[in-house]
Structure 1
């Protein structure tokens, strides 16, 4: 995204000193990887600063913080605690959040002692998320890129990506999966969805899943979007345990496969155009999606 801001440690230090002088003497360190929609910086030893990287993500701060406060006591794993909210100023154009620091390493790089145990803890978290009170929760929509909403809104992108990747994927199989995914809707009361249960937002400590972060795309709606890790991260027995632990019907899992297909297709197209060195991982996920219906 061309309008992403260059957010540096000196800028964050200046923001904190300007709006939260009580923390002005604390060191500021950029977290790596720091995120895409939002950039994260460690403030001292016990806090983090989370700043939207572009206008498209700016509304997430004011939406996310009340959601965190509501959901935290209802979930099986820790999530960020809200400490303060910064305001837009001449230094930085958007609101930003200050949260408690959670120790852990993203699942995409952390050593995981037992993938079955990881899958069990993840499914347990999702079950408590689905049991959480949805009263007052925001419905899925443009504000969260339709996570939990109608998957069909991404139909044109998906069809175009299948066509562009026609030289390296089974286009007929991908089209069939997509058509099956958009053939059903969630007909039950809306449930809470995280919206981006990706390895980068799952923290691992001592070899096991320890916390979930980044609720900027949370909403209430169709839970299918939160199941993508069944194809993109889990495999074998861990994948089977994950599905068996969640009481969702076959149509929901079909929509979940559609969500991960759409995201992986458009990411693969973008990476192939740019010559990204991580393209092989996207191709691996696509192969799993196309060959394993779950």
Structure 2
């Protein structure tokens, strides 16, 4: 089976069968699918304290074990909860890849149009990003910064970004999108790298009913990269009137801010290019981010 070409057919009976066979201590717990906009994993809630995560493209090459090690190493440095792998399932004939059981993290995904405490969550996100930047671990993998795993500058994203702008003609202001992208592309970068999450979009954040950040999810793409990669919340989530506070808390200069804006624009445009009709949740976040970027005076 090719993990690159074949997507697994995952459903509740399969997950229940896997849990019962490999982790009988949890077999009697209620199991229900989690509605998610994610493209990588099928997620099921198991009882009240656990979740089951199965990659939609199964792999047997130790990815889940490496994830477990990475999360355990990162957790002590961070001010909010992150996922923890409680158990790793083995491949079977029915599901030919590794899968995992995680500790359930409380909270809901934030909506940019309904933030209970915008300044509070901005401060929480800045504290998380600052803590992440300060991490010093011997294992220093490159972050996933574009369409491939690379430390390349933003120029590596240029062709795909322009293609997305062209394909969205009639749906967005393509002239404004090109002007914004080219301004960000021209922003200087001295090559300094820090630990970045690299995908701080609302679908990877959890907040409390009071609107404060409680957890950050999905660390698959984290590693060393451009500090601009973790400015995503400014355009995906935070209202404009707290941008200066977010910037000040992270001491972000103009060039880094422009690169952050460009990385958001590129990612959101590519998401819309591929998923505007097939993944409403992802598309909603992307439309919001594009609109925020294009409304920014240049």
Q: Same fold (TM over 0.5)?
A: yes
CA change 1:163–1:57 in 2 (3 A) is farther
User: Equivalent residue for 1:116?
Assistant: 119
The reply to whether residue 216 of structure 1 matches residue 217 of structure 2 is no
> What's the counterpart of residue 45 of structure 1?
48
How far apart are the structure 2 equivalents of 1:81 and 1:43?
Answer: 14
**What is the deviation of 1:291?**
2.5
Q: Look up the match of 1:6.
A: 9
CA-atom RMSD, angstroms? 3.1
- Listed one character per residue, the Cα deviations across residues 123-170 of structure 1 (whole Å, up to 9, x for unaligned) are 111111111114213123599844765333222211112222333434
| Residue correspondences, number | 293
How many Å apart are 1:257 and its aligned residue?
Answer: 1.1
Q: Is the 8 A contact 1:147 1:217 kept in 2?
A: no
* Structure 2 residue runs without a partner (length 5+): none
The structure 1 residue matched to 2:232, chosen from 228, 252, 258, is 228
Stretch moving more, 265-274 or 33-42: 265-274
More displaced stretch, 136-145 vs 274-283: 274-283
User: 2:94 maps to which residue?
Assistant: 91
| Closer, same or farther: CA 91–267 of 1 in aligned 2, 3 Å | same
Q: Which region of structure 1 is more displaced relative to structure 2, 268-277 or 9-18? A: 268-277
Q: Once the 2 structures are TM-superposed, how far is the Cα of residue 88 of structure 1 from its aligned partner?
A: 2.2
Please name the residue that 1:23 is paired with. 26
With 98-107 and 264-273 compared, the bigger mean Cα shift is at 264-273
Is 1:127 matched with 2:124?
no
Residue 103 of structure 2 aligns with which residue?
100
Which of 260, 263, 285 in structure 2 is aligned with 1:259? 263
Residue matched to 2:294 = 290
The worse-fitting range, judged by mean Cα deviation, of 1-10 and 253-262 is 1-10
Alpha-carbon shift at residue 197 of structure 1 (Å): 0.9
Is 1:206 paired with 2:195? no
Matches within 5 A, 1:267-282: 267-271=271-275, 282=286
3-state SS of paired residue (1:105): coil
Give the SS at the match of 2:64: helix
In 2: Cα distance, 1:147 partner to 1:85 partner: 28
Partner of 1:69: 72
Say which SS state the counterpart of residue 257 (structure 1) adopts: helix
Which residues in structure 2 correspond to 1:148-159 (within 5 Å)?
A: 149-159=152-162
Mapping of residues 168-187 of structure 1, within 5 Å: 168-183=171-186, 184-187=188-191
Distance 1:39 1:182 in 2: 35
1:163 pairs with 2:166:
yes
Change (3 A) 1:111 1:181: closer
CA distance 1:240–1:111, change in 2 (3 Å): same
Unaligned runs of 5+ residues in structure 1 are: none
CA distance 1:56–1:257, shift in 2 (3 Å): farther
Q: Tell me if the contact between 1:41 and 1:49 (Cα under 8 Å) persists in the aligned partners.
A: yes
| TM-score, normalised relative to structure 1 | 0.86
How many Å separate the matches in 1 of 2:74 and 2:245?
Answer: 25
Is 2:243 aligned against 1:239? yes
| Contact 1:161–1:269, Cα closer than 8 Å, also in 2 | yes
SS of residue matched to 1:129: helix
TM-score normalised to the size of structure 2? 0.85
